[in-house]
Amino acid sequence: MPEGDSVLQLSDRMQWMTGRTVTRSDIRVPRFATEDLTGRQAVRVWPYGKHLFMDFGGRILHTHLKMEGVWSVHAAGSRWRRPGHTARVVLRLSPQHAGGAEIETVGHSLGFVRLFDRDDYDQVVGHLGPDILASDWENAVFGRDEALGRILARPDRSIGAALLDQRNVAGIGNEYRAEICFLGGVDPRHPVGSGPEAEATAAHLLDLSRKVMWENRREPRRLFTGDRRPGMGNYVFGRAAKPCRRCGTAIHKGFLGGVDAGGDDGELERVIWWCPVCQA
């Protein structure tokens, strides 16, 4: 699933939209099928955690890629690179210059689509924690310290589940969760805990998350090990039973979250990987 760095990259790629006017729109989800953005100007495109927002003159399009979502961009009228039945949003925008060609962008297999008024934005994102990739993450009132406080507020919860909870901090997904816990030498199944040591550990993991994700925000492929060769970029994620790149011990695989595992109601059980030696 795309994580905060992927959505930031996507937002950067979609900045061409700003200043252009929608000449045709087709929202292919039942609830918003009658919505028409034609004639509205794209005034802003931005990410928040794993979410992408586009402001069309006060009407905001909110999408989430989930597992398979992708946005494609091409000249209007050209053949789509993905099947038409996967399209959830179709937007055609005016040329940048007189005599230029219209551009079409299509959101395929999007996991979530909705439209709302600009005035409702704060309410829409109100359930999310601070954005790990926000430019003011370090110093904002609603930034690093807020995220740390939310994690520490539930000392009995596993640190792995706490990092993945978007209500604590927005943008960290399963791959980062696994790799950051390895880099921090922390077993993701261990409880957050309380006291100075627990606070220092949680703060260190948050700082690592920000640092590594920020460094990866321009990379075509996520990199945690420093080795750019195919298949060598991860320490533990997706490497069950393979030798740890540091100590040689077989990587373990388990599950975190889900009500049966002590998680919150509605929380999905997610796979987790760790080294039983390096993260003891």
pLDDT tens readout for residues 201-227: 999 999 999 999 999 999 989 999 999
Residues 74 and 183 in one domain: no
- Give the predicted TM-score (pTM) of the model: 0.95
Residue 15's contacts (CB-CB under 8 Å, 6 or more residues apart) are 45
Which strand (E) or helix (H) includes residue 9?
helix 4-13
Q: Is 83 a catalytic residue?
A: no
Residues 84 and 170 in one domain: no
Closest CA to 60 of 82, 32, 99: 32
Determine the pLDDT at residue 74: 96
Domain for residue 136, yes or no? no
Q: Is 3 a catalytic residue?
A: yes
Distance CA 181, CA 195 (A): 19
* Catalytic residue selected from 47, 50, 130, 210: 50
* Catalytic residue selected from 2, 47, 130, 188: 2
Which amino acid appears at position 92 of this protein?
R
* Catalytic residue selected from 157, 189, 239, 270: 270
Residue 46 has pLDDT above 50, yes or no: yes
For 267: left if phi > 0, alpha if psi spans -120 to 50, otherwise beta; the answer is beta
- The mean pLDDT value for 227-247 works out to 97
Residue 260 has pLDDT above 50, yes or no: no
Distance CA 40, CA 224 (A): 42
Domain for residue 131, yes or no? no
Q: Is 50 a catalytic residue?
A: yes
Residue 268 has pLDDT above 80, yes or no: no
Residues 194 and 94 in one domain: no
Domain for residue 88, yes or no? yes
Full residue range of the structural domain in which residue 83 is found: 4-124
Residues 103 and 178 in one domain: no
Residues 164 and 115 in one domain: no
Q: Is 2 a catalytic residue?
A: yes
Residues 17 and 90 in one domain: yes
Residues 194 and 97 in one domain: no
Domain for residue 193, yes or no? yes
Residues 148 and 264 in one domain: yes
Which strand (E) or helix (H) includes residue 26?
strand 22-27
The domain that holds 231 is classified in CATH as 1.10.8.50
- The mean pLDDT value for 45-73 works out to 98
Residues 270 and 150 in one domain: yes
Do the bridges between strand 59-64 and strand 42-48 make them parallel or antiparallel, or are there none, so unpaired? unpaired
- The mean pLDDT value for 46-64 works out to 99
Residue 264 has pLDDT above 80, yes or no: no
